Structure 1
Amino acid sequence: MNASPRRKELTRQAAQLFVQEGFDRTTVRMLAQEMGIKSGSLFHHFRDKQEILAAVIEEGTQNALVIAHRALEKCDNSPGARFHAMARAHLETLHADRNAHVVALYEWRRLDVEARDHLSHLRDAYEALWQQVIDEALEAGLIHGDRFLVARFVMGALNWTVRWYDPQGPRTPDELADELLAMIRHGSA
């Protein structure tokens, strides 16, 4: 997809509007007004509203992958450090680029089949990275449980923070990642 600075800015503005109004209630006229352009000019940057939704989700997911890979490169190779790094990266991504992630979480089902097929590889790559870190923690005895359920519970808990966590509040993403690991940690491993 076109990655011009103007298109990226329009994508960020669209994400904010999709969060406020929901994808279905957001009209092309509303998007153009929010972006400070005429409705017809919007189609210079995007084919249609579906392409805007796909751009929002794609940018957010790509950013999440970059942040996760950087976090894993910087931490030591122990399963606990890698789990903490992924949880911290996920929280950073959710709150640094909150609108894109809220849209991805709640509006994914609104994507048309073509866009879903195009974006599935990014979502799958991110989930595979998480699954690798969870598998390492399970194999090391750091955590225990059914790998599918552990992954769903961890991702669900982290994703839900977009509803209650205040990045300006008293707890940092590092503290939240520590707390999550402490809650699911098995024994003293």
Structure 2
Amino acid sequence: MNDSPRRKELTRQAAQLFVQEGFDRTTVRMLAQEMGIKSGSLFHHFRDKQEILAAVIEEGTQNALMIARDALDNCDSNPEARLHAMARAHLETLLTDRNAHVVALYEWRRLDPEARDHLGHLRDAYETLWEEVLDEALAADLIRGDRFLVSRFVMGALNWTVRWYDPRGERSPEDLARELIAMITHPAR
């Protein structure tokens, strides 16, 4: 995909509009107006509205992957530190790229099959990072349960923060990550 600064800015503006209006209700005219360009000019940067949606989700997922990998590279190697790093990284995506994160969560099903196939590897890579960290925590008896269920529980809790978390509030992402990990872990035997 084209990585021009203008396209990236248009992608961020589209993400905001998709969050506000929803993908289905957002028209090309609305996108062009939000972006400050004519409707026809939009097609200089994107083939169609589907490509805009794919660009939003791709950029957001790449950013989430980058933040998560960086967090894991810069934390202690023990399972609890790695679990905390992943939770904190996930919450960090809400601060750095909230709109793209929300669009990826709520509009993924709107992608056409070709775009889902193209972007599936990014989502799979992100989920694989989580699975590795959860497997380490399970093996260390830091958490208990079925990995699939634990994964869905943790990801669901983290993802739901987009509905209620206020970064200007009294709790930082660090506080939230610490609380989540405290809720799901127990001392090793």
Same fold (TM over 0.5): yes
Structure-1 separation of matches of 2:68 and 2:36: 34
Deviations 1:24-50 (A, max 9, x none): 000000000000000000000000000
SS at match of 1:97: helix
Structure-1 separation of matches of 2:172 and 2:143: 23
Write out aligned runs for 1:1-189 (5 A): 1-188=1-188
Q: Point out 4+ residue stretches in structure 1 off by more than 4 angstroms.
A: none
CA contact (8 A) 1:95 1:162 kept: no
RMSD: 0.8
What's the offset of the Cα at 1:172?
0.8
What's the offset of the Cα at 1:188?
4.9
Deviations 1:135-188 (A, max 9, x none): 100000111111100000000000000000111110111111110011011235
Structure-2 separation of matches of 1:72 and 1:187: 22
What letter is aligned with 1:22? G
What letter is aligned with 1:44? H
TM-score of the pair, normalised by structure 1 = 0.98
What letter is aligned with 2:169? G
SS at match of 1:64: helix
CA contact (8 A) 1:88 1:174 kept: yes
Structure-1 separation of matches of 2:165 and 2:135: 27
Structure-2 separation of matches of 1:2 and 1:179: 40
Deviations 1:81-128 (A, max 9, x none): 000000000000123211001100000000000000000000000000
SS at match of 1:76: coil
For structure 1, the 5+ residue unaligned runs are none
For structure 2, the 5+ residue unaligned runs are none
TM-score of the pair, normalised by structure 2 = 0.98
CA contact (8 A) 2:83 2:133 kept: yes
Structure-2 separation of matches of 1:69 and 1:187: 26
